[in-house]
């Protein structure tokens, strides 16, 4: 017996339902567990995106501190400046010599740091936009499967499994 049910195509649904009924003399227990696999996938993707954006934010703050220290002419031999230049040097290294650096006394306008900040921001934006395209499962169809099984041990133990999947 089949019946037509319209499917909401705005949100992909990949739901797994399981109902376990246990009957013993004087005792009946029914447990229904529903897992929304598509929602779990979206939550994982959201968590990965937050981690990536947080990493970019930390990098951008470090690079902005480097730019600011150079701009105000901070003492390059002070402990904090040595620490900042050491950490951020790894990320500005590929851009060294790309454009001229402007000096005015102790002040340095390090344009390569600004370029590095822009390139890393664009790169992360592209990666974050590409991840859903790679991991997204198109939902061209929905399949519903119901299984009812009698487990050994008597007539009171029944297991009904409903699986709804898209893809």
144 versus 83: the higher-pLDDT residue is 83
d(C-alpha 103, C-alpha 39), whole Å: 54
* Report field, pTM of the whole predicted structure over 0.75: no
What does the pLDDT read at residue 102?
A: 85
145 versus 117: the higher-pLDDT residue is 117
Query: 16, 164 in Cβ contact below 8 A?
Result: yes
Query: 40, 12 in Cβ contact below 8 A?
Result: no
Query: 92, 6 in Cβ contact below 8 A?
Result: no
65 versus 165: the higher-pLDDT residue is 65
d(C-alpha 69, C-alpha 30), whole Å: 66
**How many helices and strands (H and E) does the chain possess?**
3, 6
pLDDT at 146 over 70: no
Mean pLDDT of 19-28: 72
pLDDT at 9 over 70: no
What does the pLDDT read at residue 34?
A: 76
| pLDDT (tens digit per residue) in 51-104 | 999 999 999 999 999 999 999 999 999 999 999 999 999 999 999 999 988 888
Q: Which residue's entry shows tokens 């370029």?
A: 115
| pLDDT (tens digit per residue) in 30-44 | 777 777 777 888 899
d(C-alpha 157, C-alpha 152), whole Å: 7
What does the pLDDT read at residue 7?
A: 42
What does the pLDDT read at residue 163?
A: 62
């Amino acid at each position: 017996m089949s019946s037509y049910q319209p499917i909401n195509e705005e949100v992909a649904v990949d739901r797994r339902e399981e109902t376990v009924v246990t009957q013993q003399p004087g005792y009946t227990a029914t447990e229904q567990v529903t897992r929304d696999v598509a929602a779990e996938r979206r939550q994982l993707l959201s968590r990965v995106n937050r981690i990536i954006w947080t990493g970019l934010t930390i990098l951008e703050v470090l690079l902005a501190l480097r730019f600011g220290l150079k701009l105000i002419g901070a003492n390059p031999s002070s402990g904090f400046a040595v620490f900042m230049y050491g950490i951020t040097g790894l990320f500005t290294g590929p851009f060294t010599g790309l454009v001229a650096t402007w000096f005015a006394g102790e002040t340095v306008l390090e344009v390569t740091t600004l370029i590095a900040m822009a390139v890393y921001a664009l790169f992360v934006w592209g990666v974050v936009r590409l991840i859903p395209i790679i991991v997204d499962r198109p939902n061209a169809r929905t399949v519903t499967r119901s299984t009812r099984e009698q487990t050994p041990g008597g007539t009171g133990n029944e297991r009904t499994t409903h699986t709804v999947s898209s893809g």
